[in-house]
Structure 1
């Protein structure tokens, strides 16, 4: 439970025992102040209802970006696979994000003789080949999303890599043409001075890929909305679309801040996890604000007729030490569910599968809360359990299980549920839910963002079956399987949803 300090009005996490570049929505707390949701009467039982039209979902809608497989954990590590399979990813992205622009597929490491970011050049070389990746694909049944190297390789070499994948029995179904070229780094500008220059090359690559792999869908890089004075970034989409021909999709990356301060600047080296109830409510509101901006200013400006793939998304905030807290996991879950409301979005991949608490869903080692020094760290964090699920992984595990193989999505509404109110009068629901089906059985996810328990009738969600539920204090640093409260059982007429909880229903 959340404990309120009488004098300081701060929320404190429960004590934990230590086990053995992108688009950021910058929202100042002065502009976005939330009050805590009113506590519902405990005897009040809410009745969910379906709202809006049921949407079609690809069976391979949800997955993970496979960046960060550059250290001690490999794709074919049996311990990793044991942790990965329960997440039920339908998609896995290879070789990842930024590293894709410098990747030598033949050797499974970076190209030589080409300028790269310092953090990549400093890594100890190892081999991360398609053969390694194949083990995780086979174990999960996921579909690969390949990110080709348009920056430091050439078309024929990259076609050869796709041929190699096909020869290994890996499907060539989804292909991205590079990563984040709208960012104005020197090498991006040298290769593609303008978005039109990139589009011309994308046209050539798309035609060649389609000729050899006619079943493949090909996506080009689009830029998400960004509130900075960056002419390349801001003008990227218009310039791109004036020249781009063919292709099936556009990729977008979606990162959002906490709304408490400038997310680009580290506030201090480390700080305690002490936040007021109002700040917790504000943090949980930012995914809604960020989504509204992406949908109206980003997706809304793109032409109809191409799919939208969200191939990276997560919380990004250098100023607050909230990476790996349960409120982080809740926010990423909300973002995942909000995407489903846009039928043009056909695939979403959370950034990233493996690493530390900053973005990962699985810890790569025991130093999971020692985030990079340009981010504010939580003071005195616990050790993380290697290959345990992070807060994000613990939350998205339920979402992945609910979405697995489902082809229909139905949004749920909760009349009478309290609203988290913004200072300007806008509101965000304290309960968020979706039901998923495949013509045979159904699953559902319901998230309670309120600081109090809410009860719902289950007949309109899943009338018979079982449920599993994960909840916790919002400021808990999720370091091990014991960090969160987990319950499960058969579905009764009514079900209590604890504060800050995610519940999965299964028929």
Structure 2
């Protein structure tokens, strides 16, 4: 049983022109004296080294001192108007893990409360034989880095049907435009429909804008790809008129043509046409994949949330998604942990961050940014549900334990469960708003209820006045850990339930759900 100690070690924190004392709660997972001592020592270290005033964690102006009331309380308000809640879920490449027919694996995935899964995944879709639920027999002259790797278990549409029935999630079908035909891919969609899987979301290929993509051999530029998309969209729409279809998006810097990828694809896939006939055979969205490099977001203390916040926005802008007037599907995002030595990264130390509480918090921050960067974003899928440990939400090599990314996504998905609208929370006065890399939050709502998700990314406790946001919520659950604690499988995460009050103190590096 977890024991809480309410009167151990008070700490003083100097804020601009203010002095306040904040009590902290310590817990131990058992009654053993040595374990208690270890826990207290770790907390003491956290207090002395990491609990700095928020003003020291920010660059530029002192946001906290200007935003607080005289009692060091940050005021929370709603920002803008509510909008439709995007669908959140995962890229579904499970080529190295068990099939959806594995009930233990499937149960672990369903427990995340995902709303959408991508089938069969990313690059693997370019070489996918849907009848086998595996890779094609012949690469047809193309190279695939996964072609020499044995698929652990076939992943057929019937296997996918099991997940859809159990979770009631949507499916994004990523079509094979590289080594298959439109006729064959329509057969796949018809088979899926016959199995009771709704055909709502369709992607035309994967990452053909990347310099290293084999798709560049078939689609030599964005014009060729866009024109081919129209040739595919027309017969697909004739069979599935209500399906939404997205094309590969994302400007790239490696050539003059790739720098204009979005505009060229949108023009040639009729995305920007006002002609009614063309609109009927046009795509409805651009696909975005967002991957900040580890070298740009990590410092000596691990993941730096301010750097991550800045780099993630930069990836969105570099891809040209901030200037498009169309729907966006973010079907992959994460820190690019696979970048390796070719990007100047020492994986032996860098990848340890993927096991830590900081990765949980980073996943929540990136999901928040995906949601806020454009009001036209419809789908937000974290990479990836399984496979490589550094990206996985579920570690299939460790008895299907939840990885930090999966823990973060589950917190977001549970907070937004059964909701239809979303609205951002702002902290502080209008002219001195606290930054998202310090504390951020969202309100989720439906016609009868609402919930709040609030994340403190700083090393200091923050008290927030929530009076303007509360509406008959009954439960507040706060989860927290040391920023660099290992949390795979949920270890080292402390949880406390507190009464709903107008003012709530959020511990350092904490995630709160209020329902």
Give the TM-score category using the shorter length.
0.7 to 0.9
Aligned residues: 440
User: 2:300 is matched with which residue?
Assistant: 275
User: 1:499 is matched with which residue?
Assistant: 508
User: 1:350 is matched with which residue?
Assistant: 382
User: 2:314 is matched with which residue?
Assistant: 293
1:363 deviation in Å?
Answer: 0.9
1:327/1:42 CA distance change after superposition, 3 Å: farther
TM-score by length of 2: 0.78
1:245-394 aligned at under 5 Å gives the runs: 245=270, 246-258=282-294, 260=296, 275-276=300-301, 283-300=304-321, 302-304=323-325, 306-317=326-337, 318=340, 319=345, 320-321=350-351, 322-341=353-372, 342-366=374-398, 386-394=399-407
Secondary structure of the 1:175 match is strand
Secondary structure of the 1:474 match is coil
Query: What is the rounded CA distance, in whole Å, between the counterparts of 1:184 and 1:447 in structure 2?
Result: 37
**Are the aligned partners of 1:410 and 1:436 in contact in 2 as well (CA < 8 Å)?**
yes
Query: What is the rounded CA distance, in whole Å, between the counterparts of 1:79 and 1:431 in structure 2?
Result: 36
TM-score by length of 1: 0.79
Query: What is the rounded CA distance, in whole Å, between the counterparts of 1:186 and 1:430 in structure 2?
Result: 37
1:121 deviation in Å?
Answer: 1.9
1:73-472 aligned at under 5 Å gives the runs: 73-114=98-139, 115-124=142-151, 126-185=153-212, 187-223=214-250, 225-226=251-252, 228-231=253-256, 233-245=258-270, 246-258=282-294, 260=296, 275-276=300-301, 283-300=304-321, 302-304=323-325, 306-317=326-337, 318=340, 319=345, 320-321=350-351, 322-341=353-372, 342-366=374-398, 386-415=399-428, 429-463=437-471, 464-472=473-481
User: Which has a greater percent of helix?
Assistant: 2
Secondary structure of the 1:88 match is coil
Query: What is the rounded CA distance, in whole Å, between the counterparts of 2:433 and 2:458 in structure 1?
Result: 8
User: 1:475 is matched with which residue?
Assistant: 484
Query: What is the rounded CA distance, in whole Å, between the counterparts of 1:213 and 1:235 in structure 2?
Result: 30
Per-residue CA deviations over 1:62-105 (Å, capped at 9, x if unaligned) read 111101x1234221222122212221111111000110110000
1:232 deviation in Å?
Answer: 5.5
**Are the aligned partners of 2:97 and 2:153 in contact in 1 as well (CA < 8 Å)?**
no
User: 1:267 is matched with which residue?
Assistant: none
1:364/1:33 CA distance change after superposition, 3 Å: farther
1:35 deviation in Å?
Answer: 11
1:185/1:356 CA distance change after superposition, 3 Å: closer
Query: What is the rounded CA distance, in whole Å, between the counterparts of 1:482 and 1:289 in structure 2?
Result: 30
1:121/1:3 CA distance change after superposition, 3 Å: farther
Aligned-residue RMSD, C-alpha = 3.1
1:127 deviation in Å?
Answer: 1.3
1:122 deviation in Å?
Answer: 2.2
Q: Does 2:77 match 1:49? A: yes
